[in-house]
Amino acid sequence: MPPQNTQQEELNATLTKLRNDLDDLSGAFYKNNFSGNQTFNKDCIFQTRLRVPVYSSAPSVAEIGDIIAVSGKLYICTTAGTVSSPAVFTLVGTQS
């Protein structure tokens, strides 16, 4: 009977390790503590410049989130537009 005991102990050890790994993974998930290619809801600091295209007037074709500058003011696209239905751009913040 010793071979069965050894096999049972190995199975119990494997099961315990799997349970511990699952607990660790669950903890990382709920703490938003993953590493790798994932989306995080955390603040980011950019060490670069953002170049915004400058237009004389707002373009009619754009996607939601497109950022432009018109006459020195910053605008963001809030409604996507096509040739037949122009995009809607909204002034960002309070600008003078």
pLDDT digit string, tens, across residues 28-85: 666 655 555 556 577 767 678 888 999 999 999 999 999 999 999 999 999 999 888 9
Domain region containing 60 = 54-91
Tell whether 59 and 83 lie within a shared domain: yes
Tell whether 38 and 58 lie within a shared domain: no
Q: What's the burial of 49, exposed, middle or buried (CB within 10 Å: 0-12/13-18/19+)? A: exposed
φ/ψ of residue 77, rounded to 5 = -75, 120
Tell whether 12 and 32 lie within a shared domain: yes
User: Structural domain tally of the chain?
Assistant: 2
Tell whether 73 and 36 lie within a shared domain: no
Tell whether 9 and 38 lie within a shared domain: yes
The answer to the question of residue 7 being in a domain is yes
The answer to the question of residue 96 being in a domain is no
The answer to the question of residue 49 being in a domain is no
| CA 52 remoteness from chain centre | 21
Tell whether 2 and 27 lie within a shared domain: yes
Give the model's pLDDT for residue 1.
47
Amino acid at 96: S
